[in-house]
Amino acid sequence: MNFSHFVRIDRDGRGGERHYVVHTHDPKFTLELDPDPAAPDRIGRGIIKRVCVPNSWAGEYGQYGKMLAAAQQFFAEASAAGEFHRQGG
């Protein structure tokens, strides 16, 4: 899959680490994930914590479900490759 429109951002803050995947092209969205402690690498595809989407997503759930699955796959592959941007809190 082509992940060129995805960006992973990891932030350190007072509440601990936060992990985000942002889709930068239409449909734009942000996914906040927690690492999956049950995964063999303790990160896995991540557990979806929060999804931020525009109101225009209403009714297109099947299409956007595929986009969310792609975002989780990108999270896993970026974790394995160490390809992400870390920001301080």
Strands (E), the chain: 6-13, 16-23, 29-34, 47-52, 85-87
In a domain, 16, yes or no: yes
89 residues of the chain, pLDDT tens digit each: 789 999 999 998 888 889 999 999 988 899 999 999 999 988 899 999 999 988 877 777 788 889 999 999 999 998 888 765 556 65
In a domain, 50, yes or no: yes
Query: Which residues neighbour 32 within 8 Å (Cβ) at sequence distance 6 or greater?
Result: 18, 19, 20, 48, 49, 50, 51, 52
Return the pLDDT at 89. Answer: 54
Return the pLDDT at 82. Answer: 73
Structural domains of the chain, count: 1
In a domain, 88, yes or no: no
In a domain, 61, yes or no: yes
Ramachandran bin of 44, using left for φ above 0, alpha for ψ from -120 to 50, beta for the remaining angles = left
In a domain, 89, yes or no: no
Return the pLDDT at 84. Answer: 57
Return the pLDDT at 86. Answer: 58
CB 83 within 8 A of CB 75: no
In a domain, 37, yes or no: yes
In a domain, 87, yes or no: no
Domain range spanning residue 11? 6-82
In a domain, 65, yes or no: yes
Return the pLDDT at 18. Answer: 92
